[in-house]
Structure 1
């Protein structure tokens, strides 16, 4: 792989890689890179409030979340919080998540010798939530009890949009209004949990297609130039050539405290090697300094 000194990088990113003595792309791929991610994100994930990780399929959202579940178990001197994690899954297969976690555990134990005899998987509590009613029961009843009885330092919901998409699959104004109310209640509850137990809550979000202004006008028959006031806001979240935006709209975007977007370039094959590139972008964070 090409040496990093020959690649044009932002000064902060270049300095973070230099501090970790990473000189090539290959070294970056072989290391878990927790300290590097912390510096690139201006301090890492927020320790309180709601952090959203958004991206399209295969962008690496679940992989990043599983890495955080393992990182949070590390000693404080290694950037961890010496505690466990709760992984609330609203879609997908729990057994597949556990399999991927075990694969990542093997890698992290190779890096930290003193963790070889530690059962990192035991400190991750997996919960399956298949609908909004079950989600309500978990967040209001089961999760607070679990957090009060265990040393949990991280809560992840993957994904936050799945159950809402299934329950409010309509464009009717009254249904959209009800969805907005439920989103506000959900955000309030998650922030309450974060404050009460002093831990970060990470919500994985999906993306939806962004229609152009002309496409929308033609679809709904509108000729009003001022009707699409949300257009500029949505375009702040475009990555690369894709026309994708976070789901759940403006109400949810005003609920979260920070947003991290993962994107994946068009997939290409060089020989037998997948040459697709993934990008992590800190879209919104009150704690980070941008330069």
Structure 2
């Protein structure tokens, strides 16, 4: 599983929607597949997906032989789950795998975001929260392995006063289920740019910065 962390409005949803478009491209640039998008924050915008699909077909005209904008939009399946954490657990644990069995072309699952419901539903209930996060983490790992599906998660960030830095929300237990973390922050140079820092988990307690990639303009996504 790959996780993108950052403040609200930094571009996590935009990036995930872009993945939903590009997973439909043939190899080596995509997987000729469909995407399943689980929206917990009501951030998914169909009109933005439409614009991204148009841009993709314009930049890669060879795709127009087999795909239209409407085709690309229909190949992104949306599950809205913005009620409570229990519903998210039930959706991921009980409904996602059967849905993939019915739609084997799905090659990407996006959960945007994992933190939204848990941060507010389980204040002061860390044990219960961690148990349900384990259910989700174990199930997503199982699906990724058995179904050969890529998993992308978005997460919020919290400030760790002991380490004096921003860290992914939901604590260290959740991080044990994540293979790769990206911390996304706006570049101080220009407000329309995002800098991507790739962080690889070195242990359960610490992250190690290993790469700073080039800056990407939001409007080009």
Tell me if both proteins adopt one fold, taking TM over 0.5 as the criterion: yes
Paired residue for 1:129, among 81, 89, 97?
A: 81
Paired residue for 1:187, among 137, 147, 150?
A: 137
* Aligned equivalents of 1:87, 1:120: Cα separation in 2: 14
Normalising by structure 2, we get a TM-score of 0.82
In structure 1, the partner of 2:217 is none
Aligned in 2, Cα 1:133/1:275: closer, same or farther, shift over 3 Å?
closer
Secondary structure of 1:120's counterpart equals helix
* Equivalent residue pairs, number: 198
Would you say the 8 A contact 2:2–2:181 is kept in 1?
Answer: yes
Compute the displacement of 1:140 (Å).
2.4
Secondary structure of 2:36's counterpart equals strand
Would you say the 8 A contact 2:89–2:135 is kept in 1?
Answer: no
* Aligned equivalents of 2:127, 2:123: Cα separation in 1: 13
User: C-alpha deviations, 1:231-269, integer Å up to 9, x for none?
Assistant: 3xxx5xxxxxxx532100111122211111111135x8x
In structure 2, the partner of 1:100 is 48
In structure 2, the partner of 1:85 is 35
Compute the displacement of 1:114 (Å).
2.5
Report the structure number with the largest CA radius of gyration.
1
Would you say the 8 A contact 1:58–1:264 is kept in 2?
Answer: no
Secondary structure of 1:76's counterpart equals coil
User: C-alpha deviations, 1:54-95, integer Å up to 9, x for none?
Assistant: 111222111111111111100114x1101100000011244x
More strand by share: 2
Would you say the 8 A contact 1:53–1:203 is kept in 2?
Answer: yes
User: C-alpha deviations, 1:73-123, integer Å up to 9, x for none?
Assistant: 00114x1101100000011244xx211111111111111112234311110
- Give the CA RMSD over aligned residues: 2.0
